[in-house]
Structure 1
Amino acid sequence: MNSSSLSARSFGSRLALLMMFSGASCLAQGSVTGLDAASALELAKKMQQEAATAELQATLDGNLKEFSITTGEVGSQASGLAEQSRVRAAAAIYREALKTDPTNAELHFDLSLALEKLGEAPVAQEELGSAVRLDPNLAKARNHLGIWCMVKGETSKAENEFKAAILADPHFVEAKNNLGVLCGREGRGSEAVELLRKALEERPQYAQAHVNLGLVLAGERKLAEAEKEFRNALRSSPNSLAAYSALGMVTAKLGRGEEAVGILQKVTRLQPNSAPAHLNLGIALAGDGFDLPGALEQFSEAIRLDPASAAAHYNKGRVLFDLSRRDEARTDLEAARGLQPDYPDVLYLLALAERQLGNIQRSAEVLDHLVTLEPGNSQAQHLFGQNLLLLGKTAEAIHHLQIAVGADPNDEAALYSLAQALRSAGQPEAKVFLERFRSLKQQREINDRIQNLGSYGLELANAKDWPQAVRNFQEAIEMCGQCASSVDLHRNLGLIYILKGDLEEGKRELETVLRIKPNDRDARKALQSLPSKEPKPD
């Protein structure tokens, strides 16, 4: 925030507090609270700093775009008797000061923060509303009202308040951060990134803005950029649990599982009563089956701390399912469904568990709900169709299998199931789908062969077996033709030729890459590094 404008605005509230303490009638109040005017103002400043910033939160469950909001103040209460006593004393002082100066917007704002700390949310919001009415240009009040609106889901109002705060104080970086948080949560990624970068231009050490920017970037699958922002946050604030938690999540998404587990274990040690911290650690431990018993322990702790967490119940059910403990898995999956009835991942896994337990009718009922929610869910449509076949509902099964194939024409399993169902029903179209299945299977086998040739060719190149490496890539290129891997194959072959000293062949392959993909930076860089031909002597 603009410090010069703040000090000018604060003068009125400071004067009112000093006048209050100079009055004989208020000296007794001062002695009861044990707080003087300077301490009350200092506490107000601290509460303002805590209340100014909103942070995005995400968990490893999902795609990192399902954000929630946390703030330093909204909905929180003073912890500890000593702090409660100080806040209560400050609130009494602000109220007394307002008797002397009832139109002081600053005092109404400070009182609102104190009441918020004391858990008196309705009265706090009334005081905040008074502050805004008395001084519509009090940026910090408009910003805080925006946070309240955002927490309550009143997005349009929140956006208007943040914009009003920025208009009143163009250097109010917290308001820019908060508007960026709102845009990120609403899926307006490019706007969020722009706003958060502007906030960081004005305050490069703003750790919360680095975390928020990183989470928005992670939600856009820009994981390397996100990791950089989280590390920037930790440089600014080495003890930031939000930054450590976010770094752990993105590290896991980047495939560095063990490193992620180490980071997230630190977060749970520092925040043992945080259900999201245990949830994230559990998800990291469960990745690639790294430590399923350990993951189960973390999910159980998350549920103990927050029994209403559908994500914790789902993930515990998922681990129990992977451990072949189907009955127990069903219990947690049903709990997750009860908490969040339209949770697609829960519904699919619950249907799968019911099917494997032999409850085909129950599995079909769950899938019926899921495909109503997500008609384009190929896996759900396929499983539903298989269940309907087992229940003897062939025509209905064929309908859902056709939807599955339409949603994902390259789903071999769905194609085969549909071909078999049509053949059993005596439908001539069965041959068409069976042929499509065989063609896809053959193409997959060719792609696998191309992949294997390329991988083995790179191993041969590392071993400097240039002739065999070249033969592998030449065979892969011949099989590939114009397939999706052609650029990588030609580029790698070109580099191998260069490494073995055959510059002309290498140049030819790299030029082929640029004809296919003119903006391929690696191929262009390799070509530019080649020595130019020396002119022949006369």
Structure 2
Amino acid sequence: MKKSLVLVLAFLASLSCGFDWTFGLSGKCNQAKKIVSVLENKKDSIEREQAEKRVLDLCGEGAPGHYVKALQRERASDLDGAIVEYQACLKSDPAFPLASGRLGYAYYLKGRLDDAALELTKALAAKQDPLFHKGLAKVYADKLMYSLALYHYEEAMKVSPSDVSLYVGIADIYRKQGLYEESRDEYRKALAVNGIDVDARLGMAEINLDLNKTDEAFDDLRRLQTANPQNKKIHLLLGQAYERKGNLKAAEYEYLLAGKNRSIELMEQLRKGNEYLQSGDYVKAMSELETALKEKPGDIQTLRRLGDAYMAAGRDDDAISSYREATRLKGGTPDLHRNLGILYERKGLLDEAAVEYRQSLSSDPENPDTLRLLADIYSLRGSNQQAIELYQDLIRMKKDTPRIHFMLARAYLNNRDFKEARNEYALAVRQDPENQEAQRELADLYRRSSMDVEAEKHYKEAIRLKKDDSESRNALLALYVKRKKFPEVVSLLQENVELAPNDPVNHYKLGLIHEFNKDYDSAVQSYKKSLELKGDNAKTLNALGRVYMKSGRLEEAKATLEDAKKADPKLEETNVLLGNMRDEIAPEPQVYRKAYSSGKKKKSKRDRSARKGKKSKKSSKSLAKKGKKSKKPSKSLRKNKKSSSGGKSKKSTGSKKKAKKTAKGKKKR
């Protein structure tokens, strides 16, 4: 009893004397680990230092202690020392997600992206923390795995929607992809959360530089520089802005402040290259820019300008190489992609051109030049509906021109929407009456719809704008013939002859209309002129022979038609005309044969009987057919028919014989 009382008293004494219920060192480390888990929430530096000291006192050589030491080394910019401490922490306690996450971020800063992805993924598996998602997003963005990077940024944003760096990270990815409008939207969201965020404002300035909006970028950067004079990125972008504005001394100074060695000699070469390029001296421009590129290989600005010089000089393959190298180095701009599209289109590579135009539009979706170029590509490839949609977008944007309506009309025509095509052609012609192709194609549509008066008017306009437009002339000629406007036909054909006096077809057609109007002398002259230009033309020889016949010049007609037959023995009209001529020159004596008709051979009885036999066979066949259709009569009826038919046949044969004798007697007389 006394012993149990002593134990109870000892227990109570231990409670009052501070007995360690954490069971030694492990208990202290667990306590230190709990303090570490809330370190991130302590914003006050003094409070944070006290908490870290408490952790080191409790478990300085355990996992929490190594973790705090790593944080301290990280703040002192000793990244290698921080990595060693994080590794020691994880060696003591592999299930320490905070250490895995911080180690992964340290690996990222050192450029060890694969190690960083491994540690951050392990940390995420143990704890869903937005910091781990953000770290993985940065890793994947640097590995150019943009879809994964965007996923992790969005996951982090679900927990931390007020974290400006997440919006900036997404905007940077869009900018790297050339999606400038999407990138601008994300930067705006970041500024809506924090209007003075430096990274978001710098991102907006970079986009303006990429889009060649140098003045806007310059103004933003000057304001940022005032508030953040030590920011190297601001100085770097200001250097680019000054260089584009031509202030090379100021550019060199800003580059030096940014820690970038860009000599004034190099920028002077770029400036001279730009001046030569603008003045049209492409050889000197290429020389200066090539020298600049040798001094600074891989300089994006130089590559762009050199590509411009090559393109202007017609060295398309070299221009494509320069532009593609600039794109590979993430220097692609909307203008660069548009120029690449134009170069591919020149080479007939329409698919590649369409890709570049779409890439340009992804960054600058309302650029009317790029929209029109892509619409033209769709039209050339036969993608008429896509072309129509883009042309309509341009019209909705009020960027329409007579050419846009003209190309939209063609797209409708190729899509067999003739009504809309006619409307757009009419609008194009009203806005630009000097568009000869639009006048002719509109006339073709009116002619297709049998609107001959309107078609005639627009064909005349097309011919006025282009005298030698053979398509419009032939179509107008067909309309005149259809409407029987023969004086206009003659006048138009005479114009054709004056425009192309050495074309035998024009003289031949003029001869045809003279012949139709029975002006045979003029027809002969036109046909002869055609034959002077092409003497073996069978149709022209045939036409000349025909006119000679009509005007009574038979000998000349015969000789000319014989020449036509030699030129083309298969010409049917020539053979017919020659046959008619023989009849006229040596006609068959029709009257003579009638006078001596008794001298004809008499047909023999055999011939006559043979003919009769044929007739009787035919009649018997027809009777047989009729008999099949009708039913057979009775025997009594057949006998009566035989007797009656026999009497009739005897009478009829006797009358026939008498008629033959009288006819013979008349012939003899």
TM-score range, shorter chain: 0.3 to 0.5
Larger radius of gyration: 2
Instruction: Tell which has more relative contact order, 1 or 2 (C-alpha 8 A, sep 6+).
Output: 1
TM-score by length of 2: 0.40
